[in-house]
Amino acid sequence: MSRYLTKFRLAVPLVIQTRQLNGHRASIGSIGRSIYVRTYPSLLVQPDGSTITVRYKEPRAIIKLPIDMSTLSEAEKQKRLTLRKPKKKVKIEEEIEDTFDQDSYSHLWKK
């Protein structure tokens, strides 16, 4: 009986499927949702300066997260708050001094 089982096992072809996983697997696969929402790849910049590529609902190149003001020192808080305030526009009025003398060029005119 054991001889029959070994022959039977050898006669049945073994079907072994192996998955070849590599870096291209993520680009081929899809997002596992029933409804596909349009998302755009965006660069997320965290307050410490590190960056992550995320999917965002609007087409934005860079998304910058705000800094937690409670963790900053007083000098840094004041600096950040002054940068947030709108800058006053400086209006420069130029005085043009007219020293043009028309009579000094009268010899160039033809009558």
pLDDT digits over 31-82, tens only? 666 666 788 999 999 988 899 998 888 899 999 998 888 888 999 999 989 9
Whole-number pLDDT of residue 110 = 72
91 is a domain residue: no
The tally of domains found in the chain comes to 1
- Please name the residues in contact with 69: beta carbons below 8 A apart, sequence gap of 6 or more: 77, 80
Residue 35 is given by DSSP the state S
Residue 56: its H or E element: strand 51-56
110 is a domain residue: no
pLDDT digit string, tens, across residues 18-38: 766 666 666 666 666 666 678
Residue 72's domain spans which residues? 37-84
105 is a domain residue: no
CA of residue 16 relative to chain centroid, distance: 44
- 3-class DSSP state of 19: coil
What's the whole-number average pLDDT of the chain? 79
Helix residue spans in 15-93 (DSSP H): 25-28, 74-84
58 is a domain residue: yes
